Amino acid sequence: MKKDVFDEILDQWSAERPELETTSLGVVIRVMGLYRSFLRDATRALEPLELELWEYDVLSALRRQGQPYALSASRLARETDLSSGAMTNRIDRLEQRGFVKRVADQADRRGVNVSLTPEGTREIDKAIQRRLDSAAASLQGLSEAEQNVLAGLLRTIVLSSRKDGSVA
């Protein structure tokens, strides 16, 4: 079997501390390394649109909801795993770019809903295809069946590590 860069790390630990069982570390450091690589790829994929990954995350959370592409600010913060303060800042910046607008919640005068503008909808619709293409390129070494197996294994890890199925 061909060795990767992480095998060298594990081999070094095995040489220094042969009593250690490094199998789980081998999985974790590969996932962490892939995360960094996938993050770089996702960032590059969005560069031609002049869209930051955090902007994509917020716009994507709204677009996935279906018409009218809106969520309360607090739910949007939960969907993107951000504090309410961080979300306020991001909404401000997306509003300045014309991608979202705030609308008073009719059911709760204290609440604010955030919705995509037509420009925001166009932007996320372009961005999702770029993200899908980038993800496909990142996994080109795996068949569709292998990707499904890997997704299932990763899902098992996610579900066993958090009661709510989240990773944050």
CA angle 139, 141, 142 (to 5 degrees): 75
Q: Is residue 6 part of a domain?
A: yes
Q: Are residues 45 and 64 in the same domain?
A: no
Question: What phi-psi label fits residue 18: left (phi over 0), alpha (psi between -120 and 50 degrees) or beta?
Answer: alpha
The answer, yes or no, to whether residue 62 has pLDDT greater than 70, is yes
Q: Are residues 69 and 125 in the same domain?
A: yes
* Count of domains forming the chain: 2
Q: Are residues 33 and 96 in the same domain?
A: no
Q: Is residue 98 part of a domain?
A: yes
With a pLDDT cut of 90, the percent of the chain lying above it is: 81
Give the domain range for residue 102: 51-136
The answer to whether the pTM exceeds 0.75 is yes
Burial class (CB in 10 A: 0-12, 13-18, 19+), 116: buried
CA angle 72, 76, 82 (to 5 degrees): 135
The answer, yes or no, to whether residue 111 has pLDDT greater than 90, is no
Q: Is residue 56 part of a domain?
A: yes
At 112, which CATH number? 1.10.10.10
The answer, yes or no, to whether residue 48 has pLDDT greater than 70, is yes
pLDDT for 140 equals 95
